Structure 1
Amino acid sequence: MSDTVGPERHARNRFGFRPFRPILAGATLRERLIGCLGALAGITLTGLICGWFFGQGPHIPLIIAPMGASAVLLFAVPASPLAQPWSIIGGNTISAFMGVLAAHFIPDPVLAIGVGVSLAIAAMSLARCLHPPGGAAALTALIGGPSVTSAGFLFPLFPVCVNSVILVALGIAFHKISRRSYPHVAVAMPANPHGTTDLPASIRVGFTPDDVDAALLALHETLDIDRADLDRLLRQVERHALVRLQGKLTCGEVMSRDVVTIGLDGSVARARELLLAHNIRTLPVVDEAGRLAGTLGLRELTLRGAFGLAQAMVEASTARPDQPVVALSACLTDGHTHAVVVTDGDRRVLGIVTQTDLLATLTRLLLAKAFAPPVPDAP
């Protein structure tokens, strides 16, 4: 019998016997607890507000059950396209209207529930507000009981739309207090910093958005993530893989140690003289204690030099000496940053890594790999 563990068995060992794993990529206990607290506040306050405005009685539901599912998305996965304000408000309201419409025109309840949910999916898709709890809102409109039936075409407005609007408003407030981004705004693809039509250097090589679309089409998959977020995630995966595979050289080993700097009390003329005399593009600015305050280049001096050295400098890109140098590839290829200043824990300048340093390092790594002797197969 072979002792080799196959990929299927390895997957079972990794995931099958560990409770609640996998749950969601990137999910942490802290995020789940925040989601629980948000749902507690959101659902409770939605019910209280509706009861305060419209009274409590058997004539109409105070809050509908699909709001619980909406709260799961809103507070547990706020970055999901399915959890955005228009998805929640539009998805629930439109779906409830489709359910009422099906109940009004189709006397057979079994057929009506199927048609209602089907129409809800179609309508949400056309309105670009797909929201899974919308299917439940359509069913509630069909089988919610006498109070829902008596409400008729008012049901999608109250309680469905009112519940949804209140829940979203509370969600926005809660996420702002908890310092989470909501509504979620996908990071836009970076533009070329030189104002040309070429793609930025950081994304010119490697996969393209068309490659992502082709892969999804080949896998027949639809992912609950924004396209721009997916692109950013895959590029971050590439960077982590590069660091893992080629991450032995550190910034401390590669950096230039004889760093040309200027004090905060220096003059603009002296800063320009240093940049030109040493043929450098980034000049670190240090305070009286020798701590890094910012950086300067000829561009900053040209645009803001008339206002003084402190007003012209910009925030410095920094790294630790023990950080893998290949981790700086994203920063040094963004079209703006020409050098990264290596500092200690007190922001004292230890060295500097430039684009030239990174290029030389990556070239060396590639050559070393290309000319390395082949590794013999294990017996």
Structure 2
Amino acid sequence: MLKSVLLSLLPARSNTSQRQRLRASFGALLGLLITSFVAHFLLGENAMWMVAPIGASSVLLFCLPASPMAQPWAVIGGNVVSGLMGVVCVQFFGPGPTAAALATPLAIAAMFALRCLHPPGGATALMMVIGGPAVHAMGYRLPLGPVLLDCVLIVLAAIAYNNLTGRRYPHSQQLAHPNPHATKDEVPTVRFGFQPEDLDAVLRQYNQELDISRDDLEELFLKTEMRAYQRRFGIITCGDIMSKDVVTAEFATPLADAWREMRQHRIAAVPVLNRVRRVIGIVTTSDFMKHGGLDDYHGMRRQLLDFLRPSGTTHSEKPEVVGQIMVRHPRTASIDTPITELVPLMADSGFHHIPVLDHEERFAGIVTQSDVVAALYAKNALSASGSPTPSSYQAA
């Protein structure tokens, strides 16, 4: 009984990979090295050039860079405002138990009011009270001097390191699935699942601060829904439904040839491959329209013919080949990618054609919106008839 109670008090096992743990630890090392050396150089040996709460701030900045409490305004504003509240308490009550008890609660209230809640700020406020005569002598100069400088330096280090190691920082609040058509409608995947209003209502009911941004929370819920759908209906991969006999182009394919192939085969996109069949771009009818100046529909046929006709010169400002108008580094998928992962891309982000790569990163086929719709329809039909397995889909 006692053993089970003790085990229940243990925290859950972390899902963070060893690589991410090393990334965070090394980032904190670099950030604190930069902060300490630069602050020491600017403020001098005899000055207070480093404050202890910056160590706690580094944990948030490098381990939890997506947390609302780790954003630049939270780190800088939270520590500085909390330091000022601590100094105010010392000024009014002296450096005793009363000031120590009031400093952190007042700092929390100030951080809530200024929307810069940052846990290490509580330690900054308390440090101003119990830091001793040297801290008390500095008064307001400490939070507006060394604390502010240390915060700015550690934030700049976090911005550089997190982005260089593949973590977006600062983590600005944004729509998890912005509508690519710039209309007020929700994107399709959100329409059939839970609504943003549902999440807002639950968060208000929960009525507590969360150490995760709202857009990240919404993204996690949507991905969880997709995984549940895969488990329910089985996994269909891009390799199962892709078109393999695909019209392709090379960088130097003349525009007129590419347009002729697209019209002949009634397709709207052509993957652009290099000589070893790796995808280097994709060209669509939209690219022809955009680069051909076809926004004005008057005289469209004449404009298109002028755009496709070779200039006959060696140097021309007009695009002559596919490589000059293609979208470089297009979004791709693997032959093992479940098609449910393509639904948000096609429904929400406006992708209509996604090239599929084999295990050697070479072009293997292409998946279109029509392919995904047909596969999901067929899968649901088979599930309704009592055959919900991927193998039965393939047989069908």
- Place the TM-score, normalised by the shorter chain, in its bin: 0.7 to 0.9
Per-residue CA shift, 1:76-103, capped at 9, x if unaligned?
2222121122211111111111111112
Q: Verify: 1:38 aligned to 2:27, yes or no.
A: yes
> 1:153 and 1:138 mapped to 2: Cα distance?
12
The 8 Å contact of residues 95 and 129 in structure 2, kept in 1 or not, is answered as: no
Please report how far the alpha carbon of residue 303 of structure 1 lies from its aligned counterpart in structure 2 after TM superposition: 1.4
Does 1:22 pair with 2:22?
A: no
1:78 to 65, 77, 80: 65
**Partner SS, residue 119 of structure 1:** helix
Counterpart for residue 76 of structure 2: 89
Post-superposition CA distance 1:269-307 (Å, at most 9, x none)? 333333333332222334445544432221111112541
For residue 252 of structure 1, report the CA deviation from its aligned partner: 2.5
Q: Output the aligned Cα RMSD.
A: 3.0
Q: How many residues are matched?
A: 358
Structure 1, gaps ≥5 residues long: 1-11, 375-379
In structure 1, the partner of 2:152 is: 165
Q: Summarize the alignment of residues 189-338 of structure 1 with structure 2, pairs less than 5 Å apart.
A: 189-304=176-291, 306=307, 307=319, 308-314=321-327, 315-338=329-352
In 2 relative to 1, CA 363–43 (structure 1 residues): closer, same or farther, beyond 3 Å?
same
Letter in 2 for 1:88: V
Q: With CA pairs under 8 Å and 6+ residues apart, which has the higher RCO, 1 or 2? A: 2
Aligned to 1:126: 113
Counterpart of 1:184 in structure 2 is 171
Question: Residues 144 and 347 from structure 1, CA distance in 2 versus in 1: closer, same or farther, beyond 3 angstroms?
Answer: closer
Q: Which letter maps to 1:149?
A: H
| Same amino acid, percent of matched pairs | 38
Tell me which of 64, 67, 70 is aligned to 2:54: 67
Q: In the aligned structure 2, how far is the partner of 1:83 from the partner of 1:335? A: 28
Structure 2 counterpart of 1:49: 38
Equivalent position of 1:5 in the other structure: none
Aligned with 1:372: secondary structure?
coil
Give TM-score, length-normalised by structure 2.
Answer: 0.79
Equivalent-residue separation in structure 2 for 1:358 and 1:54 (angstroms): 62
Taking the TM superposition and a 5 Å limit, the aligned residue runs for 1:3-14 are none
Distance in structure 2 (CA, Å) of the matches to 1:264 and 1:63: 56
- Distance in 1 (CA, whole Å) between partners of 2:24 and 2:357 is 37
Deviation of the 1:44 alpha carbon: 4.0
Residues of 2 paired with 1:54 and 1:290: CA distance? 58
Matched ranges for 1:83-122 at <5 A: 83-107=70-94, 109-122=96-109
Give secondary structure in 1 for the equivalent of 2:259.
helix
Cα shift readout 1:332-354 (whole Å, capped 9, x = no counterpart): 22353222223324554433322
CA contact (8 A) 1:216 1:222 kept: no
Shift of 1:373: 8.6
Please name the residue that 2:386 is paired with: 372
SS at match of 2:243: coil
* Aligned equivalents of 2:349, 2:26: Cα separation in 1: 42
Q: Deviation of residue 134 (structure 1)?
A: 0.7
TM-score (norm 1): 0.83
**Is residue 247–residue 324 contact of structure 1 (8 Å, CA) maintained in 2?**
no
Q: CA deviation at 1:124?
A: 1.1
What is the DSSP-based 3-state SS (H/G/I as helix, E as strand, rest coil) of the residue aligned with 1:322? coil
* Mapped partners of 2:170, 2:349: distance in 1: 29
Distance 2:69 2:22 in 1: 21
1:30 Cα deviation after fit: 2.1
Output the amino acid matched with 2:129: L
Summarize deviations over 1:89-121 as a string: whole Å, max 9, x none.
Answer: 111111111111112112583332222212111
Residues 339-348 or 291-300, more deviating? 339-348
What residue identity is the alignment partner of 2:373?
A: L
Distance in 2 between residues matched to 1:278 and 1:270, nearest whole Å: 12
Cα shift readout 1:148-177 (whole Å, capped 9, x = no counterpart): 122222222233222222322333344355
Greater CA drift, 323-332 or 115-124? 323-332
Deviation readout 1:26-52 (Å, 9 max, x if unpaired) = 522222223222333333443343333
Name stretches of at least 5 consecutive residues in structure 2 with no aligned partner: 293-306, 308-318, 389-396
Residue identity in the other structure for 1:223: L
